[in-house]
């Protein structure tokens, strides 16, 4: 999985490119997305395109493909694909899960933190709408790695259709680990 983040000019927003390749049980699932988001503390989706493909690795056959284009404007989430257009009304910002980790950069798990108690809707993998999400501090964890002490600040995301997701950030505000059920994402590198 790779996420590329680019700031737009004069802080007007941020864009993400997401590339995910999962291979297991004889299948390859590929998900590629390009997203334009707001410049808010939790970047909200404005416009995006997603391409999804699933294919057998070892057996012949045609892959399953889906391309969707979405936008969120004036409280309406609109997603269009070859089957048509679906719309959902919402009064909250809609974020992709990668924007949550981005928004936590520099955060501290203290009550005065601007990320404490943030409410939003989630578009998981840009395909599954999950309303009424909340992000809140959940504690501090002291760990030792290679003989050096580190303090991690925790946040928990809860909401409809979402397993509780824990995010752990270091003292420099870098999101190092995200866990939800059996799925864990660990930061392996940060490139300028």
Q: Give the count of domains, the chain.
A: 1
**Would the pLDDT of 189 be above 70?**
no
From the CB of residue 130, how many other CB atoms can be counted at a distance below 10 Å?
Answer: 16
Burial 53-75 (b: 16+ CB within 10 A, else e): eeeeeeeeeeeeeeebebebeee
**Would the pLDDT of 184 be above 80?**
no
Assigned domain for 191 exists: no
- Contact assessment for residue 133 and residue 162, using Cβ atoms and an 8 Å cutoff: yes
What DSSP assignment string belongs to 101-131?
HHHTTT--SSTT-TTTTEEEEEEETTTEEEE
What DSSP assignment string belongs to 140-173?
EEEEEETTEEEEEEEEEEEETTEEEEEEEE-TT-
pLDDT in tens, 9-46: 766 889 999 898 988 888 999 999 999 999 888 889 99
The stretch 95-108 carries a mean pLDDT of 78
Assigned domain for 92 exists: yes
CA distances from 87 to 66, 71, 125 (A): 18, 10, 17
State the virtual CA torsion across 76, 80, 97, 16 in degrees, nearest 10: -110
Q: Is the dihedral of CA 140, 151, 115, 95 positive or negative?
A: negative
State the virtual CA torsion across 82, 124, 129, 90 in degrees, nearest 10: -110
Assigned domain for 36 exists: yes
**Would the pLDDT of 78 be above 90?**
yes
Place 117 in a pLDDT band, splitting at 50, 70 and 90. Answer: confident
pLDDT, residue 116, reads 62
Taking Cα atoms as reference points, which of 175, 9, 47 lies closest to residue 100?
Answer: 175
Assigned domain for 159 exists: yes
Angle, CA 97 vertex, CA 96 and CA 99 arms, to 5°: 70
- Residue 19's domain comprises 2-186
Assigned domain for 124 exists: yes
Q: Kindly report the average pLDDT of the chain as a whole number.
A: 85
Say if residue 178 is exposed, middle or buried (CB neighbours under 10 Å; 0-12, 13-18, 19+): buried
Tokens of 88: 């959902």
Assigned domain for 13 exists: yes
Assigned domain for 192 exists: no
The stretch 132-157 carries a mean pLDDT of 88
C-alpha to C-alpha distance for 35 and 7, rounded to whole angstroms:
12
Assigned domain for 14 exists: yes
C-alpha to C-alpha distance for 11 and 21, rounded to whole angstroms:
31
């Amino acid at each position: 999985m790779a996420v590329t983040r680019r700031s737009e000019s004069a802080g007007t927003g941020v864009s993400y490119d997401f590339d995910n390749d999962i291979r297991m049980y004889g299948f390859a699932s590929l998900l590629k997305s390009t997203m334009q988001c707001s410049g808010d503390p939790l970047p909200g989706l404005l416009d995006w395109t997603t391409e999804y493909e699933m294919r057998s690795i070892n057996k012949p056959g045609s892959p399953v493909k889906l391309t969707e284009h979405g936008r969120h404007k004036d409280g309406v989430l609109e997603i269009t694909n070859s089957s048509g257009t679906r719309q959902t009304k919402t009064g909250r910002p809609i974020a992709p899960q990668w924007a949550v980790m981005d928004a936590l950069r520099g955060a501290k798990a203290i009550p005065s933190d601007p990320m404490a108690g943030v409410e939003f809707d989630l578009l998981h993998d840009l395909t599954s709408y999950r309303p009424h999400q909340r992000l809140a501090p959940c504690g501090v964890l002291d760990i030792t790695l290679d003989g050096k002490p580190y303090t991690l600040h925790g946040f928990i995301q809860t909401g409809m259709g979402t397993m509780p997701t824990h995010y752990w950030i270091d003292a420099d505000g870098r999101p190092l680990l995200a866990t939800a059920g059996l799925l864990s994402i660990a930061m392996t590198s940060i490139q300028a």
